[in-house]
Amino acid sequence: MFFNGFAEWWLDDAVIEMRTVLIMGSLKDAGRLGDITAFEAECRQATTLEQLKSKLDAIVRQFGFRWFALVHNVDLKRTTRKALLITTYPVRWIEEVMDARLYMEDPVHAACAKTVSGLTWDQIGDFIAPNARQLSILERGRAHGLAAGFTMPIRMRDEPDAIFTVARQGDEMISSPDLLSARLVGTVAFDRARTLLGPELANVPIALSPRQIDCLDLVAQGKSDWEIGQILGLSRDTVHEYVEGARRRYGVRRRTQLVLRAVRDGHLNIEALV
């Protein structure tokens, strides 16, 4: 039993590693990493949330999405100075959400709370069994044009989850490069937004050792544990332990998430992904 579980865990990790390599490669081939690198540089120049909103709107449209929402520490029933809410959702939809209190049973956020790396809206049924009201909320959203989307949690210790969403009008499938692009963009935007909101909400980086950072830098470039070992003069098992140690510190399951968190914390420069 133990051996079978270990084999399944190792296989899952190997599959994730292979998928990361393929997705990173497809982003590079599409020229998206260069675009995201430019976006990250532009975000550093933003001095207001309105400027950040404009830059975020431009990049999500460039990647084929129509709307976005970035939310953190928001209680929709009352206003708080520390809340973050940046969105381009249709005004009439926002009004309907507020007036009908649809946020109380939002099926997207309910399903997202059960994921590690986010979900496309057609996967909601894989995480929750939506009730009649939740199904009606999805239909009401579609009536405003929000047909397909991707929503991801951004988790930090001792804080509520932040939520980043991108949506499009048509039912076109959201590809793996689309998803990874959204994850990178959302992480970069959230990091800058927290900085703009003030030091009391600024991100506190997770400490990593120099060797862990060396390994993650190569993970971000799509290298396997064996390849990293060859480059750094380490065994595959040692590389694996460095990477897994970093993953445990962040409390994430997937290596793609680990790379995103390391970029957010300044351990990796997003330009290293190009």
16 or 116, higher pLDDT:
116
What are 39-82's pLDDT values in tens digits? 999 999 999 999 999 999 999 999 999 999 998 876 544 444 45
Per-residue pLDDT, 203: 52
Report how far residue 36's alpha carbon sits from residue 31's, in angstroms, rounded to the nearest whole number: 9
Report how far residue 274's alpha carbon sits from residue 36's, in angstroms, rounded to the nearest whole number: 9
Task: List beta partners, residue 154.
Answer: 162
For the record, the structure tokens of 131 come out as 């009730």
- On the question of pLDDT at 7 being above 50, the answer is no
What are 101-156's pLDDT values in tens digits? 787 789 999 999 898 889 999 999 999 999 999 999 999 999 999 999 999 998 87
pLDDT band (50, 70, 90) for residue 240: very high
Question: Quick count: other Cβ atoms within 10 Å of Cβ 260?
Answer: 25
For the record, the structure tokens of 75 come out as 């209680």
Domain 46-201 has CATH 3.40.50.2020: no
- H-assigned helices in the chain: 2-29, 32-45, 49-62, 91-99, 107-112, 124-127, 132-143, 176-197, 210-220, 225-232, 236-250, 255-264
| 82 within 8 A of 197, measured Cβ to Cβ | yes
What are 207-234's pLDDT values in tens digits? 899 999 999 988 887 789 999 999 999 9
Q: Is the dihedral of CA 173, 125, 69, 178 positive or negative?
A: negative
- On the question of pLDDT at 181 being above 60, the answer is yes
Highest-scoring range by mean pLDDT, 7-11, 204-208, 229-233: 229-233
When the pLDDT of each residue in the chain is averaged and rounded to a whole number, the result is 81
For the record, the structure tokens of 40 come out as 């990250």
| 119 within 8 A of 150, measured Cβ to Cβ | yes
Extents of the domains making up the chain: 2-25+205-273, 46-201
Domain 2-25+205-273 has CATH 1.10.10.10: yes
Per-residue pLDDT, 26: 54
